[in-house]
Structure 1
């Protein structure tokens, strides 16, 4: 599946209105690197200084640095970026294209070539043709064989995501959802930014797709799920949740290793419920307030010299047998 040779898709009956959009603030997330070794999912964030060799040693079990490690068909490395919001104009970040360029450069400087890059939504700010074309061209600079995407609510303004699907929807089903397998890991990419009033929403058609998609998988298959809005109830008052996600979570309970990755909330957050771990990505555009510390999740303006300090990347190491992830957060390089 490629994100770039898109075909038109049928429109949904209901698109994102600006009133609905205002309930869901946007940002550009940091680069999350996940490695799969020996059937276990390990996560860390792209560009964390001093962590690349450590992560390669810990996760691949070879004792070699990531930049020189021999090819291992059983080891998967990919990158997540999120919420580039190309087209945003505001004092919280006067150059989101520059921020995205820094993130692309950071991915390209990892010391290894990711198997793929996933952009987890809000590629654009106002879903215009020009903004979609700009972000497509910027992502074409990523040194990877494949780029996958899911839409954010900012990618669906007024047209139920038709412009997004024209550019990035090749090979997808319904309103843009799909799945794929690589290196023994099953990936599911969901769309929960349509049909929403306050919370994210998946809908019966998509939940039925997930049910059929997972039905034939052995329970020891590692599963990674991408969405824009969190699948857990991070802060429903601000729309940071998905109203029918529990139906999908129930289908994932039988798997021994499940990782759910999202954007949208502009801050680092992790939560584990049994066999399922949720990771919200950090921001590289502008911060949003922590839940409940402001009337609404609006972009936070900080002094220009402090903006980089308010943005961040995360490294996460995992050793076979450990009970917890080792997380290291740093500011954007």
Structure 2
């Protein structure tokens, strides 16, 4: 087994290629027959690298961080159970995306997010300006307990999806037209007026939906204080969902995983490949950074040259 052959196997593995297809490919190219055990031994060489990556020291501050979870079936004690993979994507002071960690838990919950945030803190993250999260109950409180000065932005896309679950299909199109006036408004006051109009029109039919928007309005509407070019970066968890789409591509042919390591090493290999494209800062980053330095006075001073 040469280094070149091992690199070839890992490159194919990182694309989500099954062991069966890797074996066939290697046999066709090199005339070598490999067992699943051999392929497993090769891909297991990613595990120490993965552990070092998970333990590495992180930057002291991240202007924006997205936190979300994706679920997989993993075999445990002879049966498959669903576990949550917590994905943390940070935007560093250079405006470049960086996957900070992958964490596994039996289910998604604020308590488990607290342990994730504690780990980030222990690895050197002392401040987060804006945390973009889904609508999980208790999530903002978990963030506040570790990072009390962090501004929480609830993902508007998650909120829209959850809202539509309670709207009759025949009304969804019309409801979305009115709802768009809320989250696409130019100013906070215009958004609040649109929300009042939404309630006046749909409140009797869908009180649960309106109540949800009202209860979360403080964190759903945080982005209105920023110009348009800043808003697009923060008001959804789209950035981390793009990572999850990459993960789904890797795992779409796999119904479940034999153990946690078999999943994590695949996600890690795929993440390394995806992050090769994250070489440039996000659009309008210098303008965004200037805005953030105004909205969060003093907190970026030691980390950037403005």
Shorter-chain TM-score: which interval? 0.3 to 0.5
Which structure shows the higher strand fraction? 1
Q: Which has the larger radius of gyration?
A: 2
Which structure shows the higher helix fraction? 2
TM-score (norm 2): 0.34
